[in-house]
Amino acid sequence: MRRTVFNEDHEAFRETIRAFIEAEVVPVHDEWLAVGQAPRDFYYKLGELGVFGIRVPEEYGGAGIDSHKFEAVMYEETSRAGVSFGGSGVHVLLGLPYIEMLATDEQKKRFLPKFVSGEEMWALAMTEPGTGSDLAGMKTTAKLSDDGTHYVLNGAKTFITGGVHADRVIVCARTAAPREDDRRFGISLFAVDTKSEGYSVGRKLDKLGLKVSDTAELAFVDVKIPVEDLLGEENKGFGYLGLNLASERWGIAFGAYAQAKAAVRFAKEYVQERTVFGKPVAAFQNTKFELAACQAEVDAAEAVADRALEALDAGELSPAEAASAKLFCTEVAHRVIDKCLQLHGGYGFMNEYPIARLYADNRVNRIYGGTSEVMKMIIAKSMGL
């Protein structure tokens, strides 16, 4: 079936990104894995390439293209090469929408040029040690000073991807007590400068996968946030968080599909080269059947991911549809990558093979952005159940 989601511009971008990955990432990716993060100056290279500014208006230094399709190409090409760009995905997928939706003109003039260049990398801090999916239960507070010039931030966050290198972090904090009839009330969003006194990065977390992404714990002790760095209106932050969930979940869905597609490619190449009992592993019927089943699942996931992408670009992707796409694509990726690792035999368990890293990286897809169980709840509710 002919794929129609990408045009000539997207394919030209694909060629550029593929060449960039081969020249700038593949030769040093093992070093990044060893230290657990990409170097900070790598993000300047992505900025120079224009990756961060595709959806940013031209007046702020971007290309002004209102589409997520170039991001989709990035997902496919990084997965194809078996590499990761660290926290750059969070910078664009999670950071940019909140600036677009909530920032004033003055804030956009301050934030976006540095966002585009990579001079200021952004992250999003929601999760706390005691609160995961229940964001309304967060304990981090931001109290307005008596003179009204700044807020005082206290608390802690965890599982913050991009948290080590981040220059600005969108921090969710309580600015008022929850109401009896609405425990979500009282949360606000702030664009916090990580150089602020009292702001500190704790442990860089040792994760099962996604070893190149710098995921960290953050702590805030009497951090002063200028009132000019409040994003949107005070106490309405919880509602803002929900506005970007469809985009975030599409990104996870598309990334998972891209990983599954790459896994089939890795497995196909391996079984054609690997010889067992005097013939290639690809010659056995079981191998053919397993890979054929994987390819069929990848085809289906691609269709779902592409349809969700078109709906997202059109502004029509509903929360339930995004949840459905995430649930389906992440579950497909789980099954496909597991089968493709099995076809590698013992070598599939070795981290020198991309299938092993892909297996570990993929596992979190069914957890972050809302667990598979939460996705099922959202879908069921949309069905009237």
Decide if 292 is inside a domain: yes
Average pLDDT over residues 219-245: 95
Q: Identify the bridge partners of residue 218 per DSSP, sorted by sequence position.
A: 157, 201
Judge whether 321 counts as a catalytic residue.
Answer: no
pLDDT band, very low/low/confident/very high, at 136 (cuts 50, 70, 90): confident
Co-location of 249 and 226 in the same domain: no
pLDDT tens figures, 86-96: 878 899 999 99
Q: Is residue 280 part of a domain?
A: yes
Please report the pLDDT score of residue 181 as a whole number: 84
Domain boundary among 117, 152, 180: 117
The region of weakest confidence among 10-14, 133-137, 144-148 is 133-137
Of 248, 297, 302, 321, the active-site residue reads: 248
**C-alpha triplet 240, 217, 200: angle, nearest 5°:** 95
Other C-beta atoms closer than 10 Å to the C-beta of 194 total 20
| Residues 224 and 341 occupy one common structural domain | no
- Are residues 220 and 305 located together in one domain of the fold? no
Query: CATH no. for residue 216?
Result: 2.40.110.10
Query: Same domain, yes or no, for 255 and 374?
Result: yes
Give me the mean pLDDT over the 132-149 stretch.
Answer: 88
Assign 85 a pLDDT band (cuts: 50, 70, 90): confident
User: Within this chain, do residues 112 and 184 fall inside the same structural domain, yes or no?
Assistant: no
pLDDT of residue 131: 73
pLDDT attached to residue 1 = 79
* Packed helices 105-117 and 42-49: angle between N→C axes, nearest 10 degrees: 110
| 64 assigned to some structural domain | yes
Query: Are residues 224 and 255 both part of a single domain?
Result: no
Q: Does 193 score more than 70 pLDDT?
A: yes
Confidence at 133, pLDDT banded by 50, 70, 90: low
- In a domain? residue 225: yes
pLDDT in tens, 351-363: 999 999 999 999 9
Secondary structure in 3-state letters for the chain: CCCCCCCHHHHHHHHHHHHHHHHHHHHHHHHHHHHCCCCCCHHHHHHHHCHHHCCCCHHHCCCCCCCCHHHHHHHHHHHHHCCCCCCHHHHHHHHHHHHHHHCCHHHHHHHHHHHHHCCCCEEEECCECCECCCHHHCCCEEEECCCCCEEEEEEEEEEEECCCCCCEEEEEEECCCCECCECCCCEEEEEEECCCCCEEEEEECCCCCCCCCCEEEEEEEEEEEEHHHEECCCCEHHHHHHHCHHHHHHHHHHHHHHHHHHHHHHHHHHHHHCEECCEEHHHCHHHHHHHHHHHHHHHHHHHHHHHHHHHHHCCCCCHHHHHHHHHHHHHHHHHHHHHHHHHCHHHHHCCCCHHHHHHHHHHHHHCCCCCHHHHHHHHHHHCCC
- The predicted model gives 167-187 an average pLDDT of 93
Same domain, 374 and 265: yes
C-beta of residue 204 within 8 angstroms of C-beta of residue 36: yes
In a domain, 1, yes or no: no
Residue whose C-alpha is closest to residue 301's, from 340, 255, 344, 343 = 255
> End of a domain among 94, 117, 140?
117
**Summary mean pLDDT of the chain:** 95
259-296, pLDDT tens digit by residue?
999 999 999 999 999 999 999 999 999 999 999 999 99
Q: What is the pLDDT of residue 303?
A: 98
Domain of 34? 8-117
> Domain boundary residue among 174, 204, 237?
237
Same domain? 167 vs 53: no
Question: Comparing 313 with 1, which gets the higher pLDDT?
Answer: 313
Same domain, 192 and 161: yes
* Phi, psi dihedrals of residue 292, rounded to the nearest 5°: -65, -40
Q: What is the pLDDT of residue 132?
A: 64
The domain total for the chain is 3
Q: In this structure, what CATH number is given to the domain that contains residue 276?
A: 1.20.140.10
3 within domain boundaries? no
User: Same domain for 304 and 173?
Assistant: no
Does the structure show a pLDDT above 90 at 50?
A: yes
Do 108 and 135 have their domain in common?
A: no
Q: Does any domain span residue 2?
A: no
Task: Supply the CATH number for residue 70's domain.
Answer: 1.10.540.10
Of the candidates 52, 218, 24, the one whose C-alpha atom is nearest the C-alpha of residue 119 is 52
Q: Is the pLDDT of residue 135 over 90?
A: no
In terms of domains, do 92 and 205 share one? no
Question: Is the confidence at residue 77, as pLDDT, over 90?
Answer: yes
276 occurs within a structural domain: yes
